[in-house]
Chain A
Amino acid sequence: MTDMSAQTEALGSLLTRDRIARWAPLLVLVALVLLFPFFEFLADLLAGKEHVYLLDSRFFSIRNGARIGIAATPALMVAVGATFIIIMGSIDLSMEGTVSVCAVLFAFAFLGWGGTLASWAWLAIPLALVVGALLGFVNGMIHVRLKIPSFMASLAMGFVGTGLALLLTGGDRLRVEDELFRSLLTVRWLNFPIMCYVALAFLLLAWFIQSHTALGRNFYAVGGGEQLAQSSGLNVARVRVMGFTLAGIFFAVGALLAVGRIGIAETATGNNFMFVSITAVVVGGTALWGGIGGVWNTLVGVLIVNVINNGMVVIGLPSYVQDGVLGALVILAVALSTNRKSVTFVK
């Protein structure tokens, strides 16, 4: 008996709530990656075709992995930006507008200054990053100085951004066809296009900011307990504004990769980024209440979202199911990550 209880105790200490919550997203990702090939296996089995599980899978192949990678990279950058904000316990819903404005201004500058990376047009890249930072800064200032809850301040800024992008383009599409810039997509190292490596580099940068800079630690301090952070002398308003500015820069990177992927900049470039990135962040295990999670969680979350999107296409489910599945997933993820004892009421 004592042996048993010692065993359960050991198991209990191994499977604490925190530990389960921490690894659950990764387990979900692995399960999904194994699940979709299984559906393929079943389908071929029923059709009487020969199929070796995983080896014959169209889903579980390097080619499809690259496809998922390409689809995921712009969203990953946007979601990483949003991660910093959500760690602070705020939310940013402005990404669709910011991505559109950055993409459109980048394309205008790029085309106007020469149209190829080999000329001065490369300056359009830092320009886009500055524009993203500026939009994020304005967003943060509206949130902090006017004391407007971030979801509403950023939602309104998102509308302004989309309106601005529409104003700049007049509804037109701008084509960015420079081969050097498009090599982001066309040139592959080890089967993956350059854009995946660029995203990886920025992910490492984000991880560095999150874990090894004072600013990154301050995000967690603000998210863990704003009043405590304030009373220990932290300039919370400044941290928040810097957080939104940093997020704006990552949104701009997302915009550049999105343009690199499809070669077109337009008002619709930013479409769908809001829901996908928020979904990815919360599904990855970063709590909406702040203080928990990080950019690696977001990587897992983005992969979960994109594996679902891709896998559903591979096993032949119609594309409209995805929106609904993601919607249900968000509710599930937020509901499961909430510690009900610590929440009094929710608006």
Chain B
Amino acid sequence: MNLDRIKPHFPWLTLLALVCVVGAANPAFFDPLGLLSLVTDVVPLFIMALGMTFAIYIGGIDLSAQQVANMVTVVATVYLSQFGIGVAVICVLAGFLFGAISGFVTTRLYVPSFVSTLAMGFIALSAAKYLSGQRALSMDVTERNTSFGWMFDSTAGVPHQLAIAIALLAFAWFLQTRTSFGRALKAVGSGELAAVASGLNVDRVKILAFAISGAFAGIAGLVFSVKLSGGDANLANGFLLLAIVAVLVGGTPLTGGVGGVINTAIGTLIVMVIRAAMVYLEISATQQQMVFGVVLIVAIALTIDRSKLSGVVK
């Protein structure tokens, strides 16, 4: 048995093992309704992780995702009454714009993505505080219900939030596997120098990858703010760690080029099961962050492709 050959199967095997362990410890975990609500709860996180996958797939990172989502919760709340459901377009565009600027700063100004996205995150925070007047805002309930009430319904037992997540996953999967942009992403993630040498417009691919990450963070923020019926510059805090964990335990390494959006779906489910397990094991919410921090370190150590780090790890 060769480790490299079973490595791609790690994520779903982990998920399966975790589900078995948690299910054995607490058979109530398999209750279909309970499971469905667990999966529905994780939808905003999943959407953010889905976008983050693009940034990590090209070997970068998007540390602004959480702040962009925060900003969008405020944007959605402030402009809901004015634009109704059209506010969704503004939210996605705002996220796309922030991501694109991060990408531009990374590729054209040569600022490493962890710094450029960190900085853009603070600009987003500033915008969120400005728009919200540094208060927690809440949506008008009737306006929310007329525009976004459908999100809480379900068709044939499938909650619409889950349907949104699946549709976005399908879209991301299509982008990744069925478009020339997707192949370009793979080329950049696998070896940027080779991609440049083969005539690819690498900068454009990278800018677009960060922009997609931002747009998905925007959608995540929108869904989250509709769920909580409000907006605040700190509403989505805590998402960043979990989104990065979801991408990495799903099997998209920090070095990029391998894995993808389906992996992130599995990774998000792993995060969900770990969270559920902690609830059953009566590990309090205060301890969860530490646990996920350790999970993150283990996941990076297991997945990272050290041959790509060219001997020097900075």
Contacts and interface: CB of A to CB of B under 8 A. Distances in A.
A171 B285 CA distance: 11
Give the interface size bracket for A toward B.
35 or more
Interface stretch (A8-16, A148-156, A253-261): A148-156
A328 interface: yes
Interface string A159-188: 111111011001100000000000000000
Contacts of B314: 89-91, 149-150, 226, 290
B60 A343 contact: no
A323 B286 contact: no
B294 to A, nearest CB: 6
Given A226-B312, A227-B311, A338-B110, A156 B300 contact: yes
A224 to B, nearest CB: 13
B115 interface: yes
A40 to B, nearest CB: 23
Contacts, number: 158
Interface in A217-236: 226-227
A320 B127 CA distance: 8
Interface in A195-249: 226-227
Contact of B111 (A142, A144, A331): A331
B134 interface: yes
A346 B107 contact: yes
B130 interface: yes
B120 A327 contact: yes
B287 A167 contact: yes
The secondary-structure label for the interface of chain B is helix
Contact of B290 (A160, A282, A321, A322): A160
Contacts of B287: 163, 166-167
A346 B126 contact: no
Given A330-B115, A346-B113, A163 B290 contact: yes
A158 to B, nearest CB: 8
A160 B110 CA distance: 30
B18 interface: no
Contacts of B254: 148-149, 152
Give the interface size bracket for B toward A.
35 or more
A166 B237 CA distance: 15
Contact of B286 (A146, A170, A226): A170
Contacts of B120: 327, 331
A55 B190 CA distance: 61
A324 interface: yes
B296 interface: yes
A242 B181 CA distance: 44
Contact of B110 (A171, A278, A290, A343): A343
Contacts of B63: 155
A322 B130 CA distance: 11
Contact of B122 (A159, A288, A324, A334): A324
A338 B108 CA distance: 11
Contact of B297 (A89, A142, A150): A142
Interface string A71-105: 00000000000000000011101000000000000
Nearest to B102: A331
Interface string B277-294: 000000000111111111
Contact of B301 (A148, A159, A344): A148
Nearest to A267: B286
Given A142-B297, A148-B300, A163-B291, 15 more contacts: A89-B314, A144-B313, A147-B309, A151-B61, A152-B61, A153-B300, A282-B115, A322-B126, A324-B126, A324-B127, A327-B119, A331-B120, A334-B115, A334-B116, A345-B202
7 contacts: A142-B301, A151-B114, A156-B297, A226-B312, A320-B125, A326-B119, A334-B109
Interface of B: 59-61, 63, 105-107, 109-116, 118-123, 125-127, 129-130, 134, 192-193, 196, 202, 241, 254, 286-294, 296-297, 300-301, 304, 306, 309, 311-314
Interface of A: 89-91, 93, 142-144, 146-153, 155-164, 166-167, 170-171, 226-227, 275, 278, 282, 288, 290, 318, 320-328, 330-331, 334-335, 338, 340, 343-347
